[in-house]
């Protein structure tokens, strides 16, 4: 009888709850590390054949990309890939790799990498700008060849026959968004933090996930049995029979609590003493409406429309966008549907738009800045949203606003879009509500200047915390500094809500704080009117609200605002949740 492999336990950051046991599927990236190994002389022909096959596949992929780019944005832009083809077809380059195989007796990945780096370094030292830029082309093509040598691409996950846990160094949000939940039952990554967009997508999809595992992608082998505890952030390779039994009992307890919470589906988000808030959902795709209906949310508080733009080779046209917005609005009417205009940038970018790399993309050319600089793209989206507004439950929200000027400019483009539709005889809601996201400290501090131009505020706590505390929210090494209960954050939230109320406009919370059951009483006590959370979190949030008295929330907020310690505030939040809803503590801890 084969000996049971030793357990390997890795602690990461749990970002989407749930427990799963399945086989590991290692997902490579173009930047993944390769393994260097020695080869015997009789292995050289096989390595040469692998190299030539990878070159053929790379050439095919580049031609395919060229064709798609040419169709989408013109032949001139497709020409940028001619330099990539020159690398693949450079016989001197290819023959140097083959000579290296014969001389060094190392695998082709190692030899190719060394040859490519020599070429790229030599080009980078040349004074001529054009030739110096070719260094990047050499490295890009080499990464593609290395990926093809691995024999596995990211699309291969679609071909797996049994449920699996995807293990990777990192995942792009668009990749997470397109995962097939029937095949991908969980994922685990070396990089990431609780508020990275990949983590947010995992919660939205209801897929258990752990990030910040550092080197798990090189510690696990393809096909290993792994256990993912997305609540505790524990990743276990080769779990023992005793551990599987123990987790099995925990899963049963969790299922019992969740079945009880499911009974709240049609109940309102109302405290025991009659204080009611709107509990909406964050969504990315039209099919997420099914989750809204299943979990009992009331409309959409944040439609992340940028996911319509990702994982495709061209921009969605007005008709495509209108079809999506209209479908969601009609299905959920009369409940509100707040559509956030595209928030591209940071870790969400268009694959076919060549933009200069930025040192800090999260604070760069993104969101409303991108939209105002690309008025044609922006107005196409505004026209589509306006047309969908005939359902009279659609609202528009601008992201990452930092000044009143941006809102004024955006509203001017909105009026232009209205004028165009009127001249064409198009129908739309003339009084469609416009709001802004408060996620930059400057916006929170000038809420009084923004209020006259909008009908509502929605506080995006993820970025507000990141920018206020100077903590990169996708950097797991400083994740411990990301503290939503920091006094500065609480004061900015309170200031925004109070100013909104003074101007007769409501304020919602659509960041991850809103979906954290521990934080909900605190945010209610600060005066929040609406919460928008991942659909799967709605039952937990609703349970806390329905077991709370508003007076308790106000008392908690007063103590929090008087505290100088983020940990003390978090402890106060946990103690209150333990008192009013101990079943929620069981679920999240």
Ordered DSSP codes for 46-104: HHHHHHHHHHHHHHHHHHHHHHHHHHHH-HHHHGGGHHHHHHHT-HHHHHHHHHHHHHH
> Do residues 335 and 293 touch, judged by C-beta distance below 8 A?
no
77 pLDDT band, cuts 50/70/90, is very low
Q: What's the pLDDT tens digit per position in 387-436?
A: 999 999 999 999 999 999 999 999 999 999 999 999 999 999 999 999 99
Considering Cα of 524, then 530, then 533, then 536, what sign does the dihedral take?
positive
pLDDT at residue 270 tops 90 = yes
Tell me the β-bridge partners of 278: 530
User: Which among 85, 65, 84 is positioned nearest to 73, based on CA atoms?
Assistant: 65
Please give the structure tokens belonging to residue 243: 């551990």
| Domains, in order of start, for the chain | 8-28+153-255 (3.50.30.10), 41-149 (1.10.274.10), 271-588 (3.20.20.60)
CA angle 94, 95, 98 (to 5 degrees): 95
Q: What's the pLDDT tens digit per position in 233-265?
A: 999 999 999 999 999 888 888 889 989 999 999
- CA pair distance 258, 256, nearest whole angstrom: 5
pLDDT at residue 36 tops 60 = yes
Longest dimension (CA), the chain: 81
The Cβ-side half-sphere exposure at 325, using a 13 Å CA radius, reads 35
Rg (CA), the chain: 26
In this structure, what are the phi and psi dihedrals at residue 309, rounded to the nearest 5 degrees?
Answer: -95, -15
What is the 8-class DSSP label of residue 563? Answer: -
Please give the structure tokens belonging to residue 229: 């505890």
pLDDT computed for residue 76 by the predictor: 52
pLDDT computed for residue 352 by the predictor: 41
Q: What's the pLDDT tens digit per position in 96-135?
A: 999 999 999 998 988 998 998 888 888 777 766 556 657 7
- CA pair distance 143, 263, nearest whole angstrom: 51
Could you tell me the end-to-end alpha-carbon distance of the chain, in angstroms, rounded to an integer?
38
pLDDT computed for residue 197 by the predictor: 66
> Do residues 202 and 233 touch, judged by C-beta distance below 8 A?
no
309 pLDDT band, cuts 50/70/90, is confident
Active site residues: 197, 510
């Amino acid at each position: 009888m084969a000996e049971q492999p030793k357990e390997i336990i890795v602690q990461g950051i749990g970002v989407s709850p749930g427990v799963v046991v399945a086989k590991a599927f290692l997902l490579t990236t173009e930047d993944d590390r390769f393994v260097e190994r020695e080869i015997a002389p009789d292995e050289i022909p096989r390595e040469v054949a692998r190299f030539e096959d990878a070159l053929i596949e790379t050439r095919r992929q580049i031609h395919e990309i060229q064709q798609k780019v040419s169709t989408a944005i013109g032949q001139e832009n497709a020409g940028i890939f001619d330099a990539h083809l020159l690398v693949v077809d450079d016989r001197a380059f290819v023959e140097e790799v083959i000579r290296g195989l014969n001389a060094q007796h190392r695998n082709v990945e190692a030899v190719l990498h060394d040859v490519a780096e020599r070429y790229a370094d030599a080009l980078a030292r040349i004074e001529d700008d054009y030739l110096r830029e070719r260094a990047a082309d050499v490295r890009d093509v080499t990464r593609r060849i290395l990926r093809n040598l691995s024999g596995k691409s990211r699309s291969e996950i679609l071909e797996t026959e049994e449920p699996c846990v995807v293990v990777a160094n990192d995942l792009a949000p668009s990749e997470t968004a397109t995962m097939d939940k029937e095949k991908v039952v969980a994922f685990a990554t070396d990089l990431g933090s609780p508020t990275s967009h990949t983590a947010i997508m995992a919660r939205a999809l209801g897929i258990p996930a752990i990030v910040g595992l550092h080197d798990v992608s090189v510690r696990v082998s393809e096909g290993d049995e792994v256990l993912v505890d997305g609540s505790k952030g524990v990743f276990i390779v080769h779990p023992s029979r005793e551990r599987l039994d123990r987790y099995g009992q925990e899963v049963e307890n969790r299922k019992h609590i969740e079945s009880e919470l499911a009974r709240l589906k049609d109940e309102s988000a109302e405290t025991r003493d009659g204080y009611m808030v709107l509990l909406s959902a964050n969504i990315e795709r039209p099919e997420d409406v099914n989750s809204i209906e299943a979990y009992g949310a009331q409309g959409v508080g944040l439609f992340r429309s940028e996911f319509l733009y990702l994982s495709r080779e061209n921009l969605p046209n007005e008709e495509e966008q209108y079809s999506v917005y209209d479908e969601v609005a009609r299905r959920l009417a009369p409940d509100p549907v707040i559509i956030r205009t595209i928030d591209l940038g940071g870790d969400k970018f268009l694959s076919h738009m060549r933009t200069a790399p930025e040192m800090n993309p999260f604070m760069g050319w993104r969101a409303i800045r991108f939209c105002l600089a690309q008025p044609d793209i922006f107005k196409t989206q505004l026209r589509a949203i306006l047309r969908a507004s005939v359902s009279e439950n659609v609202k528009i929200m601008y992201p990452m606003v930092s000044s009143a000027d941006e809102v004024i400019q955006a509203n001017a483009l909105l009026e232009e879009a209205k004028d165009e539709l009127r001249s064409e005889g198009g129908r739309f809601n003339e009084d469609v509500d416009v709001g802004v996201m408060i996620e930059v400290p400057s916006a929170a501090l000038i809420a009084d200047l923004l209020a006259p131009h909008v009908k509502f505020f929605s506080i995006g706590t993820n970025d507000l915390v990141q920018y206020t505390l100077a903590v990169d929210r996708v950097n797991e090494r400083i994740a411990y500094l990301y503290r939503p209960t920091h006094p500065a954050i609480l004061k900015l939230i309170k200031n925004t809500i109070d100013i909104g109320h003074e101007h007769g406009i409501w304020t919602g919370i659509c960041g991850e704080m809103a979906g954290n059951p521990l934080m909900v009483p605190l945010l209610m006590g600060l005066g929040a009117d609406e919460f928008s959370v991942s659909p799967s979190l709605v039952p937990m949030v609703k349970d806390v609200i329905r077991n709370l008295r508003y007076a308790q929330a106000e008392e908690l907020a007063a103590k929090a605002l008087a505290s100088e310690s983020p940990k003390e505030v978090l402890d106060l939040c946990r103690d209150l949740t333990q008192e009013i809803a101990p079943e929620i503590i069981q679920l999240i801890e």
